[in-house]
Amino acid sequence: MPRRRTNGRNVPRTPVNLVYRSIQAAGGPTALCGRLAVSDATVKRWRRAGVVSDARAVLEWAALVWPLEPMRQLRLARRLAGLPADGRLRPASKDRRP
């Protein structure tokens, strides 16, 4: 008996690129380049990768998006850097040393 075809509703959504969304929230790529003093190529590289590799830029970027809310700044900064937003570290795999 052939497998039943899905109707498309069971397909998981593509994850949202947080870097792209926060570029738009900060005023667009041109405004972000000027405020962070980075090149357009750097912002495009971060957008493609989905994470920001520069710690200073992560903190300044979060301050641009949430200027008066330090907890939201920290959450956004952690997510831009590719870390869990809640601050908890994921448990490491079991150590298999003898």
Per residue in 51-89, pLDDT tens?
898 999 999 999 999 999 999 999 999 999 888 877 666
In a domain, 3, yes or no: no
pLDDT at 33: 93
What pLDDT score does 18 carry? Answer: 87
Asked whether residue 2 is assigned to any structural domain, the reply reads no
Residue 42, domain member (yes or no): yes
CB 62 within 8 A of CB 78: no
Q: Considering the domain boundaries, does residue 70 fall inside one?
A: yes
d(CA 61, CA 76): 9
Residue 95, domain member (yes or no): no
Range of the domain at 32: 18-80
Cα distance between residue 20 and residue 60, in whole Å: 16
Q: What angle do CA 55, 45, 29 make, to 5 degrees?
A: 85
CB count within 10 Å of CB 47 equals 17
Domains in the chain: how many in total? Answer: 1
